Structure 1
Amino acid sequence: MTKMNVPYYKGMMEIDIPEKNLLGVLESKANKYRISKTQEEIVEEALDNPIGSNSLEEIVKGKNTLTLITSDHTRPVPSKVTLPILLRRIRGANPNIDITILIATGFHRPTTRDEMIEKFGVEIVENEKIINHVSTDDSMMVNLGKLPSGGDLIINKIATQADVLISEGFIESHFFAGFSGGRKSVLPGVASAKTIMANHCGEFIASPNARTGVLMNNPIHKDMVYAAKKSNLSFILNVVIDSEKKVIHAVAGDSEKAHLKGCEFVMDLAKVEKNPSDIVVVTNGGYPLDQNMYQAVKGMTAAEANCKENGVIIMIASCADGHGGQSFYDNIVNSKSPRELLDRISKVKRNETVPDQWEFQILARILDKFTVIIVTDMWESKYIESMHMNHAKTFDEALKKAFKIKGEDASITVIPDGVSVIVR
């Protein structure tokens, strides 16, 4: 047996794979990337050397108001490292500037105070003005016109009405936007639900260019870049993190140019060569991304890219927070089959996209080709099975089920962190 430890919720899960079955392990080079600098030094160096823009200090001089977009509780952005540095440098250049921290929830639920404290630290939560973006609250929004795709560009006015708009985030591969970070702070981060729906429509999600690691001709990315420019996102700080959620690289500066440099770095680390197998074992990188089924779909797409058709995907994800989206859950549960759901989505017009459609569309695409077994001891079987998936409380139980489907000689590939790799 080959023993491995893979991320599971806030810890690790030990799994045993028979050596005769193990075809390979696909891992990002980020896990072995070593740098002698501290996280703080990496961030400071990026801010000292902005890409394609003036320095942050020059940008904020003489301005009265600033909105700083940051990520919500579902993203492992190390804000305890980055935010204090950003705030110190901003106030060092402009002590009287009025700063609002806007949490980019996208279409997610608001971040709770406890989650803010865990993410930002007590001092920032108690002393800074922090506001949750609520995509369904029309009173928070302003219409900035049309996206290239034709959808309405409606953005949180707290972002658009400030003298300066900046954002912090992190860059990793993204299952339909190509990469996270950069322009995603605006769309979907602080966009109206209406705008998010149009951008995440079935037509765009079905595009072969709306895939992990792809920016060229990606219709979703194109809209996002336009939204960031139209909102005057003038400066970004984006970091790259390893499996321990530690900063190993950072870029700062122009929202498009700096982001592209960060994406190049991530591609170099994350790209792995596929080795198609009968069974693929994958995780969502542990907490916070494995806390619900909605997010777990992301890791499944890495397995999808490496699994033989009619193969088995074993997804290890706590789903401690349940399904993660009522519309997501209801649409999967109320469909007769994944194929029936896909056929129905194909007939939905762009401006009639429903909440979470993109997520259940991608999950349906996976379930239409593969058997998925969810490994968790933190969510009930009845919910998982109602979503056209199998459930196992332990990895051993899941592996037995997979062998029963594909045979005792089935080949196995392990992807310890599905959201950290780009399978090519």
Structure 2
Amino acid sequence: MIKIPYSTKTLKINIDNKNLKGILISKAHNYKVNESQEYIVNRALDNPIGSERLEDLVKNKNNMVIITSDHTRPVPSNITMPILLNRIRKVNPSIDITILIATGFHRPTTREEMINKFGREIVEKEKIINHVSTDKNDLTNVGVLPSGGQLILNKLAINTELLISEGFIEPHFFAGFSGGRKSILPGIASAETIMANHCSEFINSNQARTGIIEDNPIHRDMLYAAEKAKLAFILNVVIDADKKIINAFAGDRRLAHEEGCKFVMELSSVKKIEADIAITSNGGYPLDQNIYQAVKGMTAAETTCRKGGVIIMIAACNDGHGGKSFYDNVSNAKNPRELLERILNVPRNKTIPDQWEIQILARILNDYTVIMVTDLCDPSMIENMHMKHAKTFEEALKMAYNIKGEKAEVVVIPDGVSVVVSD
């Protein structure tokens, strides 16, 4: 019996021993800590890496902005945000604090989602604003990225006296790792800036892959954006399969993030096991809410599944496709190969919305059959996007065996976004 996260539940699946070649699990899932989540966060804030303490930074400041992740990220802000606010106000009770939600290119976070994320008290008492990447009135140009794209960021963040961020670090399918600099780009960047950074040339780079930040052109742009925004301090946590904090890193935007990435790499690195069928998930809620996000989990399966194999993606997708441009471009394409070739010829400054996700999905669909397992999404939406649909895992496995044969070798990645699969 193998447990797979699905929405807010867990699916229990069975694979015959004669087919099962292995299970790839991040060590973070079984990483045990004796301290409370609050203690771990406070310890990190008491021992910042390459930076003054947060309390020293907020002294004599009139205002500040705290960037936080949006509803698609399982950052335990109900733990971290109260600690940050308490520590800040203890030394500077009158400071004007704005919490800026780094939506990137996503839709705004709803009030209900804010309450679920922060708790009702913070939502009712604090000033919380959604970043909107297309609202030119809220944006300002602060320079040019190393890649040549315009660096346009949220005015609130640029004009504040002190800018800090909270987030979490996990493997990321083209930025190497989440966290740190990503709170700026794409977090509070304009649509134009995000699209320049997420261009087809960079997405196609072999360095723009899970677990890689060295020589990663996307990471390089992001670091530059964080520097230009004067991101003064970060608090990034690492979480387990239950979304509980197992470690935290605070301090300098680059140094603290790099230390966190090293820790995550040690836990999440798994050796690939080649198979004909790869089963994966997006780690359940909130990352498996739509097809757009589910592409991330597919990339873990892509690295271990033989070309021409089958990827079974278990994701609720209860929020639908996750992006109109994403859906329209994939569903209107004649086939994945045609779509991929078209995107690879798009110049850096002509990137379209969601092109990066379209490109990666097209890359996967070009080499694999993808079966999406969900009973919470319109099957026709999935099928229109050149994937197969199964209402249950058992149905999907039967379909996969019909394609690859009853003796097909199977590997399972219970949480595809938590691992770095390497040779």
Q: Distance in 1 between matches of 2:125 and 2:409?
A: 54
SS in 2 for 1:31: helix
SS in 1 for 2:214: coil
Tell me the equivalent position of 2:368: 370
* Offset at residue 328 of structure 1 (A): 0.4
Tell me the equivalent position of 2:208: 210
Q: Which residue identity lines up with residue 227 of structure 1 in the other structure?
A: A
SS in 2 for 1:234: strand
SS in 2 for 1:321: coil
CA offset digits 1:135-182 (Å, max 9, x no partner)? 000100010010000000000000010000000000000000000000
Correspondence for 1:86 among 81, 84, 87: 84
Tell me the equivalent position of 1:163: 161
Tell me the equivalent position of 1:64: 62
**TM-score w.r.t. length of structure 2:** 0.99
Correspondence for 1:396 among 383, 386, 394: 394
Q: Which residue identity lines up with residue 68 of structure 2 in the other structure?
A: T
Q: Distance in 2 between matches of 1:352 and 1:88?
A: 45
1:337 is the counterpart of 2:335: yes
How do 1:226-305 residues align onto structure 2 when only pairs under 5 Å count?
A: 226-305=224-303
SS in 1 for 2:166: strand
Q: Distance in 2 between matches of 1:249 and 1:104?
A: 22
* Offset at residue 366 of structure 1 (A): 0.2
Tell me the equivalent position of 1:309: 307
SS in 2 for 1:368: helix
Correspondence for 1:349 among 339, 344, 347: 347
Q: Distance in 2 between matches of 1:411 and 1:93?
A: 59
Cα root mean square deviation, aligned: 0.4
* Offset at residue 409 of structure 1 (A): 0.3
1:154 is the counterpart of 2:152: yes
Tell me the equivalent position of 1:320: 318
Correspondence for 1:383 among 377, 381, 384: 381
* Offset at residue 423 of structure 1 (A): 0.1
Tell me the equivalent position of 1:75: 73
How do 1:168-179 residues align onto structure 2 when only pairs under 5 Å count?
A: 168-179=166-177
* Offset at residue 86 of structure 1 (A): 0.2
Q: Distance in 1 between matches of 2:82 and 2:107?
A: 25
* Offset at residue 16 of structure 1 (A): 1.3
SS in 2 for 1:52: coil
SS in 2 for 1:100: strand
SS in 1 for 2:371: strand
SS in 2 for 1:50: coil
Q: Distance in 2 between matches of 1:346 and 1:17?
A: 38
**TM-score w.r.t. length of structure 1:** 0.99
* Offset at residue 369 of structure 1 (A): 0.3
Q: Distance in 1 between matches of 2:372 and 2:206?
A: 26
Correspondence for 2:138 among 137, 140, 144: 140
Q: Which residue identity lines up with residue 305 of structure 1 in the other structure?
A: T
Q: Which residue identity lines up with residue 134 of structure 2 in the other structure?
A: T
Identity within the alignment, %: 66
Moved >2 Å (runs of 4+)? none
Q: Distance in 1 between matches of 2:378 and 2:292?
A: 15
SS in 1 for 2:165: strand
* Offset at residue 5 of structure 1 (A): 1.7
CA offset digits 1:28-56 (Å, max 9, x no partner)? 00011111000000000000000000000
SS in 1 for 2:75: coil
Q: Which residue identity lines up with residue 280 of structure 2 in the other structure?
A: V
* Offset at residue 335 of structure 1 (A): 0.6
Q: Distance in 2 between matches of 1:78 and 1:314?
A: 29
Q: Distance in 1 between matches of 2:293 and 2:215?
A: 25
* Offset at residue 14 of structure 1 (A): 1.4
SS in 1 for 2:21: strand
Q: Distance in 2 between matches of 1:383 and 1:16?
A: 27
SS in 2 for 1:17: coil
The total of aligned residue pairs comes to 422
Q: Which residue identity lines up with residue 125 of structure 2 in the other structure?
A: N
CA offset digits 1:51-108 (Å, max 9, x no partner)? 0000000001001110000000000000000000000001111111100000000000
SS in 1 for 2:14: strand
Q: Which residue identity lines up with residue 419 of structure 1 in the other structure?
A: V
Q: Distance in 2 between matches of 1:419 and 1:404?
A: 27
Q: Distance in 1 between matches of 2:300 and 2:55?
A: 40
* Offset at residue 347 of structure 1 (A): 1.4
Q: Can you give the 5+ residue segments of structure 2 that lack an aligned partner in the other structure?
A: none
Q: Can you give the 5+ residue segments of structure 1 that lack an aligned partner in the other structure?
A: none
SS in 2 for 1:312: strand
